[in-house]
């Protein structure tokens, strides 16, 4: 009796790679996954594959024991360049498939790698442009990749790219202000030194959580700045595919909710890590679904109106 030897299926390998990425995202990015859960499965899995890549780069930059973090990050560029090489990282098949399927420019991933490499180097941001450059590399690149996964009309590409970049800046500035005390305690201040000098605040003041008049002015300034970036990208959901809008809205509402808490607390936010409760996150998801569903309803009604009435007027 002959023995049938199973032949490995590339499709099975791809499914396993996507499954690994989704499991990682659920475990490591609960805020992110709240929004991703609203996407159709193909887009959700693609976003998970991209998140797994981001997570791996971030883990490399945070590895204090690793003596070759910069070199390991450079190796990621080689992985992306050579689609034919075998690779041990479990998510590589899903990532490569995602890049091809959604026509994602690889330069955004290269820029993100450069951004995470900044965390390996000494932290010295003198001007806001320095901080902006960091935010672009570690966060705007994420937004620029995600809009490809979400889908948008090619005719709107310039506007979509502009708002995706702004949203990344808003998200990362929110992260910076949420983690500012912890970062300064580790000698990593992402706020520009010119801004600290303007308000008479030092990184030591932030690390030691001092509530001073200058610190309150700093928080007021950053809160207004962050809010302006959220305002400049507020129309982005209307430019992406309808089935992806709830996801983007949910993630935006969660991050903007954190930003509003930081603005309300001011320097008191230094005393604890600011976050949204589970009911608050659920409310963000609920309203994101509601508004996105309402938009779809209005769109369908407009299409029906044009079909039944405007088309009949010409017949």
* pLDDT digit string, tens, across residues 116-160: 999 888 888 999 999 999 999 999 999 999 999 999 999 999 999
Distance between CA 86 and CA 32 in Å, rounded? 29
Is residue 310 within a helix (H) or strand (E), and if so which, with residue range? none
What is the model's pLDDT at position 1? 38
Rounded Cα–Cα distance for residues 232 and 163 (Å): 7
Contact 38, 290 (CB under 8 A): no
pLDDT for position 252? 95
- Give the tokens for residue 258: 């954190």
**CB distance 184 to 207 below 8 Å:** yes
Q: How much is the pLDDT for 85?
A: 59
* DSSP letter, residue 27: H
Q: Among candidates 46, 56, 47, 39, which has minimal Cα distance to 90?
A: 56
Q: What is the pLDDT of residue 306?
A: 61
Written as tens digits, the pLDDT of the chain (315 aa) is 333 334 344 567 999 999 999 999 999 987 778 788 889 999 999 999 999 999 999 988 877 555 588 788 888 888 887 765 556 789 999 999 999 999 999 999 999 999 999 988 888 899 999 999 999 999 999 999 999 999 999 999 999 999 999 999 999 999 999 999 999 999 999 999 999 999 999 999 999 999 999 999 999 999 999 999 999 999 999 999 999 999 999 999 999 999 999 999 999 999 999 999 989 988 888 888 888 877 666 654 565 566 555 544 444
∠ CA(48), CA(93), CA(239), 5° rounding?
Answer: 40
Nearest to 130 by CA among 78, 195, 84, 186: 195
**CA nearest to 164, candidates 246, 281, 252:** 252
Q: How far apart are CA 102 and CA 165, in angstroms?
A: 18
Cα–Cα distance between 180 and 185 in angstroms, integer? 9
Contact in structure between 149 and 99 (CB atoms under 8 Å): no
Give per-residue pLDDT as tens, 168-194. 999 999 999 999 999 999 999 999 999
Q: Could you give the dihedral angle defined by the CA atoms of residues 146, 24, 172 and 170, in that order, rounded to the nearest 10 degrees?
A: 40
CA–CA separation, 110 vs 129, rounded Å?
20
SS3 call for 67: coil
Residue length, the chain? 315
Adjacent-strand bridge partners of 152: 240
**Distance between CA atoms of residues 258 and 31, nearest Å:** 11
CA angle 44, 50, 53 (to 5 degrees): 145
Give 191's DSSP letter: S
Distance, CA of 60 to CA of 53 (rounded, Å)? 11
Q: What pLDDT does 2 receive?
A: 36
**C-alpha–C-alpha distance, residues 102 and 104, integer Å:** 5
Give the integer Cα–Cα distance in Å for 250 and 236.
13
């Amino acid at each position: 009796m002959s023995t049938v030897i199973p032949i490995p299926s590339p499709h099975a390998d791809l499914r396993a790679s996507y499954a690994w990425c989704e499991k990682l995202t659920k475990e490591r990015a609960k805020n992110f996954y709240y929004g991703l859960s609203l996407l159709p499965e193909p887009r959700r899995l693609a976003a998970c594959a991209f998140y797994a890549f981001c997570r791996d780069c971030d883990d490399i930059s945070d590895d204090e024991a690793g003596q070759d973090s910069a070199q390991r990050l450079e190796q990621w560029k080689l992985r992306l360049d050579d689609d034919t090489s075998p690779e041990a990282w479990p998510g590589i098949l899903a990532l490569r498939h995602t890049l091809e399927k959604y026509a994602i420019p690889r330069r955004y991933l290269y820029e993100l790698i450069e951004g995470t490499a900044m965390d390996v180097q000494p932290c010295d941001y003198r001007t806001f442009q320095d901080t902006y450059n960091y935010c672009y590399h570690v966060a705007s690149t994420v937004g620029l990749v995600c809009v490809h996964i979400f889908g948008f009309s090619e005719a709107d590409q310039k506007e979509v790219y502009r708002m995706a970049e702004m949203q990344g800046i808003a998200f990362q500035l929110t992260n910076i202000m949420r983690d500012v005390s912890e970062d300064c305690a580790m000698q990593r201040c992402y706020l520009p030194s010119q801004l600290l000098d303007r308000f008479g605040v030092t990184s030591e003041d932030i690390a030691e959580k001092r509530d001073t008049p200058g610190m309150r002015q700093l928080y007021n300034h950053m809160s207004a700045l962050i809010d302006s970036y959220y305002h400049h990208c507020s129309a982005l959901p209307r430019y992406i595919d309808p089935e992806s809008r709830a996801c983007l809205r949910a993630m935006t509402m969660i991050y903007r909710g954190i930003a509003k808490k930081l603005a309300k607390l001011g320097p008191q936010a230094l005393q604890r890590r600011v976050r949204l409760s589970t009911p608050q996150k659920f409310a963000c998801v609920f309203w994101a679904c509601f508004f996105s569903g309402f938009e779809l309803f209005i769109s369908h009604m407009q299409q029906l109106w044009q079909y039944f009435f405007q088309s009949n007027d010409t017949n």
